[in-house]
Structure 1
Amino acid sequence: MILGEKEVVYVVSDSVGETAEFVVKAVATQFNGGNVEIRRNSYVDDFEDIEDVLILARTRKSIIAYTIVVPALKEYLDRRAAEENIMAVDLLSPLINAFTTSFNKTPHHQPGLMRKLDEEYFRKIEAIEFAVKYDDGRDPRGILKADIVLIGVSRTSKTPLSMYLAHKRFKVANVPLVPEVPAPEELFAIPRKNCIGLIISPDKLNEIRLERLKALGLGSKASYASFARILDELDYAEKIMKRVGCPIINVSNKAIEETAGLILDVLKKERSL
């Protein structure tokens, strides 16, 4: 061993090793950072990888800190480190054992699950950002990029449905259908199976729009809530939906969760044909 040489902590993981490195750094700060060098060894998945680390570790003052969940690899590292008189610290097993004992659960012993969870999380965030960006027909280019496109008249729950489905990691664009505004051409360029039309009964739509006007402090006689206007909009929307050829769901008296479930069921059926 060379005098004055840095102590080394070999971080060994059957995944990326970020968790172990973070823990080691946290501990090192308790010693003012020490004179410690951290060397990460990621994706260790066989005995030879472990031997490579041991060869390096036994030549200098070192510790092995590891997050290995595959039992055979963990047992091998523990045994060989003891034989080489190298301190090996298992960062996961105490907590895994606590979960097993206290919660009566069985671990998967599968590497990389945290990374998969992170990927799921970022896909959800991306889908939410997509729903916000392409809400209410703001940018018709989103129609071509979306997993699901929702179309319908105002107050058919397009926005809350888009957000609900985004939390399930679907990229959703929604387009309001208004007689005075031509439907975007992109709507007729996508596969029919990517689009869902949302309809509602005139009575229910009238009720919802009256409540909306009240919330805005506007009079109930505004054309927005008039039956003539509502029937005109619904007729126009039906024509667009027929032209698109998309499945149609009636959202009258349905909760967002119920409608979202129906949307996913319809799309699953459509896309399996």
Structure 2
Amino acid sequence: MKRILLFALTAFSLQSFAQNTPCVPDAMNQDSLFGLWPDTIQNLPIAVEGVYYESYVQLKTPAVASEVPDVPIQFASLGIDSIGLVEALGMPSGIQMSCDEPNCVYPGNSIGCINIFGTTNAVGVHDLEFKVDGWVTAPIIGVVSMSVAVGDYVYLTGYKLVVNGSGSDVNLIHSNSFEVLQNIPNPFTGNTSITYNLMQQRNVSFSVYNVMGAKVMEQKYVANTGTNTIELSANELESGIYFYTLSNGEEIVTKRMIVAGK
């Protein structure tokens, strides 16, 4: 039975590939709970068909087994020896991943760094799923695999990798649904763009909230059928983390953005 957590990535020992911007673990994530940064609200940057793509994620491994949902109670108090990223499912062809640790195995209570890079022609929205295992050291028994203890690997879901067609933004989004993409660039210091799709012309409401939940901006638009774009300037906000929502009157989509400066 699958266990769903926050997202994490696996890699396939691709250290022979040289990335343009090597990933460096961010110590600021050390106090975070087990999970991946950026989270599923911010998600991954958009890729463009036929254009080299590169991004990275930071994996914070759990300190104790109780941080892993559905772990058997007899293992809950045990410290995590290591976490392994076993397999990635759903990545578009041509996109590869490289871990900064051999075999994509990270010690408990540490930060892992994974590069995602390559060139793909697989236009569309790719749902990602990742298979993760972990190990604890139990008294008398010794090292125990979490997949053995739980009965299956942990499957981490919730992320999408959007590959935009080189000729049109319409390829970014399913044309028959209301979808809001992550702002690009993010973080940003000047301007950023938020692209969204509507099945028909209608009024939409765009709001921005700070981390305390206070609304700091609200705009209303008459949007067209298909792809629409909202342009936002860093001059309108103080530096920091924000959440933006877009509502079409029936659905509300929320994503996170970071104003890095002005």
- TM-score, normalised on structure 2? 0.21
Q: Which is richer in strand?
A: 2
Q: Which is richer in helix?
A: 1
Q: Relative contact order (C-alpha < 8 Å, sep 6+): which is higher?
A: 2
Could you say which structure has the larger radius of gyration? 1
